[in-house]
Amino acid sequence: MSVEEVDSFERFALAEPVLRAVRDVGYEQPSPIQAQAIPPLLEGRDLLGQAQTGTGKTAAFALPLLSRLDLTRRVPQLLVLAPTRELAIQVAEATKTYARHLPDFHVLPVYGGQGMGAQLRGLSRGAHVVVGTPGRILDHLRRGTLVLGGLVAVVLDEADEMLRMGFIEDVEAILAATPQGRQTALFSATMPREVHRIAQSYLRDPVEIRIESRTTTVEAIRQRYWQVRDLHKLDALTRILEGEDFDAMIVFVRTRTETTGLAEKLEARGYDAAPLSGDMQQAERERTVDRLRQGRLDILVATDVAARGLDVPRISHVVNYDIPTDTEAYVHRIGRTGRAGRKGEAILFVSPREKRMLYAIERATGQRIEPMQLPSREDIADRRIDRFKGLITETIETAELDFFEALVADYQRAHDVGLSEIAAALAYLLQREQPLVVDGAAARVDAHPAEPVRAEAAESAPRPRQRREGAPPAQPRSEGAPAERPRRERRPGPEVPMERYRIEVGREHGVQPKNIVGAIANEAGLESRYIGRIEINDDHTLLDLPEGMPKEVFKHLKTVWVCGRQLRINRAAEPGGHRRRSED
């Protein structure tokens, strides 16, 4: 099968649970390195891959190697070595996402700077995949707390970076402790002599892959980014729509489901928006693009695959609402604007945890992406007023107003009021759906581009309640009080039967009760007073919600993102450890 033929992950012989996870995260078409690396890794071949960061190589090795695990053996079967703790955490999180449907699967990140106790407990419980930095992995090998006798595969990720940081001797010592028959994959952006020597010494007849960087961007496109957490993206996008002069825009999201959801939210805010995704019929797709071309539609919310080859000259802006999974996808996205010699604007939303991909895009394109400044309340108010005045001028110059002049004169005689008062009243009626003076959500996403937006910024987050008269003030926690298993006790709302639910975001992801309340209140249309006790644990959270949640709301909440994690909500385990049936 040639690379050109691989237009879907369905073409690969991936394990069905892994393929289901690929569908969940919305991947549609394999990147070049995924198309070339997945087949040989599935066959058990060694692999030597030269590719830049940001080309999608984590999925390139994780998807096939996860498909080959024996889940009945709770011993390390896959070891991934990474040069930094940040990359180790990123790879471990991605691996956990791809393995979400593998029963009783465990992945353990191991790196310096983290308490040894948690790592020892994780190793004693057993993990199928261990991802770590060379120094800490070697430390566990010397202690005898990590045993690699059951290892099936080893991945060296960013080998040249490990060489630069002085880890090559540690890497060789680790490889010497692995079984002779294990599969090995080595990925490196460059191939210096030492890395090539490692490949010759430890890889057996490897398949060699080299992904040429073709990611050059058009000089006519101005590229900017805004740092924002997932919960606040809609507010930030609304501010951009208010503050930017755009003709037509494509907003890129990660999944087909999100195209419809975001388009509906933009329509509810008064914008002419429509989804464009890979599962649309060709005739429907052509009608949607034709509406954009003719000016009857201003915003397309699209996935990568759906927008490939799209050429509409009036597209002035591209917004990367979800950061792309590889740098080539980014270049394809922003190439939808700045065409035929025109100027274009590309805006990238980046969460604090996605800064690594931002830097990878800059390296791959050879261009710096500038931080942007969202328009202030005053800027938005000035623009609304200017547009309103322009609408008045255009109406005076083009419309037949004789009937309305007579109507106003008749009203003035009957009620004895001035023309300025009548004009002010008519102006108020015309603009009351979108007030000229900005208040509320439009002001809530301000932050310096280099700083994460505060969680309080969410338009949907409930406002803090006033303390009741006579109620005792909140007591501060003493410095020595334990921080384990924090609970959020809420004053009871109306008496309703409650159920216990589990969501897959916890303390280690930086979540706070207000993030959870804001997301659920907004996405489920549920008043915050109906959200009960919230108990935040390391990797998950338990919370009480009203009994009998509608099935469509339950399914939607599974896909909601908080602090860079999908909630994947399920009913919590009942007493005795039995989990209630999911409503998938």
Q: Rounded mean pLDDT of 251-280?
A: 88
Q: What is the pLDDT of residues 309-328, one digit of tens each?
A: 677 889 999 999 999 887 87
* Per-residue confidence (pLDDT) for residue 398, from 0 to 100: 87
Q: Rounded mean pLDDT of 222-242?
A: 87
* Per-residue confidence (pLDDT) for residue 580, from 0 to 100: 42
340 band by pLDDT with thresholds 50, 70 and 90: low
346 band by pLDDT with thresholds 50, 70 and 90: very high
Q: Rounded mean pLDDT of 338-363?
A: 85
Burial class (CB within 10 angstroms; exposed 0-12, middle 13-18, buried 19+) of 577 = exposed
* Per-residue confidence (pLDDT) for residue 106, from 0 to 100: 94
Q: What is the pLDDT of residues 149-161, one digit of tens each?
A: 999 999 999 898 8
130 band by pLDDT with thresholds 50, 70 and 90: very high
CA 355, CA 347: separation in Å to the nearest integer? 14
Burial class (CB within 10 angstroms; exposed 0-12, middle 13-18, buried 19+) of 234 = buried
Q: Rounded mean pLDDT of 114-142?
A: 91
Q: What is the pLDDT of residues 489-547, one digit of tens each?
A: 443 444 567 889 999 998 888 888 878 887 887 777 676 777 888 899 888 999 988 88
Closest CA to 165 of 59, 46, 81: 81
* Per-residue confidence (pLDDT) for residue 574, from 0 to 100: 46
Closest CA to 517 of 444, 453, 456, 583: 456
User: With 70 as the cut, is the pLDDT of residue 348 above it?
Assistant: yes
Q: Rounded mean pLDDT of 550-565?
A: 81
All domains in the chain, ordered by first residue: 3-210 (3.40.50.300), 221-371 (3.40.50.300), 377-431 (no CATH), 460-465+483-571 (3.30.70.330)
* Per-residue confidence (pLDDT) for residue 460, from 0 to 100: 33
Torsion of CA 569, 570, 572, 578, to 10 degrees: -150
Give the containing element (helix H, strand E) for 193: helix 193-202
The answer for residues whose C-beta is within 8 angstroms of residue 240's C-beta and 6 or more apart is 226, 319, 347, 374
* Segment of 105-109, 278-282, 331-335, 544-548 carrying the highest mean pLDDT: 105-109
* Per-residue confidence (pLDDT) for residue 475, from 0 to 100: 39
- Rounded percentage of the chain residues whose pLDDT exceeds 70: 81
* Per-residue confidence (pLDDT) for residue 217, from 0 to 100: 58
* Per-residue confidence (pLDDT) for residue 132, from 0 to 100: 94
Ramachandran category for residue 21: left, alpha or beta (phi over 0 → left; psi -120 to 50 → alpha):
alpha
Which region among 229-238, 424-433, 455-464, 496-505 has the lowest average model confidence (pLDDT)? 455-464
Q: What is the pLDDT of residues 21-49, one digit of tens each?
A: 998 887 778 888 999 999 999 999 999 99
* Per-residue confidence (pLDDT) for residue 309, from 0 to 100: 66
CB 231 within 8 A of CB 458: yes
Which region among 55-59, 216-220, 267-271, 331-335 has the lowest average model confidence (pLDDT)? 216-220
User: With 60 as the cut, is the pLDDT of residue 140 above it?
Assistant: yes
Amino acid, res. 413: R
442 band by pLDDT with thresholds 50, 70 and 90: very low
* Per-residue confidence (pLDDT) for residue 179, from 0 to 100: 94
298 band by pLDDT with thresholds 50, 70 and 90: very high
* Per-residue confidence (pLDDT) for residue 218, from 0 to 100: 63
* Per-residue confidence (pLDDT) for residue 349, from 0 to 100: 95
Structure letter (DSSP) for residue 444: T
pTM of the model: 0.52
Q: What is the pLDDT of residues 182-225, one digit of tens each?
A: 999 999 988 888 999 999 999 999 999 998 765 555 677 899 99
Q: Rounded mean pLDDT of 59-81?
A: 95
Give the three-state DSSP class for 142: helix
* Per-residue confidence (pLDDT) for residue 458, from 0 to 100: 32
Give the containing element (helix H, strand E) for 570: strand 570-571
Q: Rounded mean pLDDT of 359-387?
A: 79
* Per-residue confidence (pLDDT) for residue 437, from 0 to 100: 65
* Per-residue confidence (pLDDT) for residue 434, from 0 to 100: 61
Give the containing element (helix H, strand E) for 519: helix 513-523
* Per-residue confidence (pLDDT) for residue 440, from 0 to 100: 44
Amino acid, res. 547: E
CA 144, CA 148: separation in Å to the nearest integer? 10
In whole numbers, what is the pLDDT of the chain averaged over residues? 81
For 452-496, give the DSSP string.
Answer: PPPGGG-TTSPPPPPPPTTPPPPPPPPTTS--SS-EE-----S--
* Per-residue confidence (pLDDT) for residue 457, from 0 to 100: 32
CA distances from 440 to 264, 458, 459, 461, 484 (A): 21, 10, 8, 12, 35
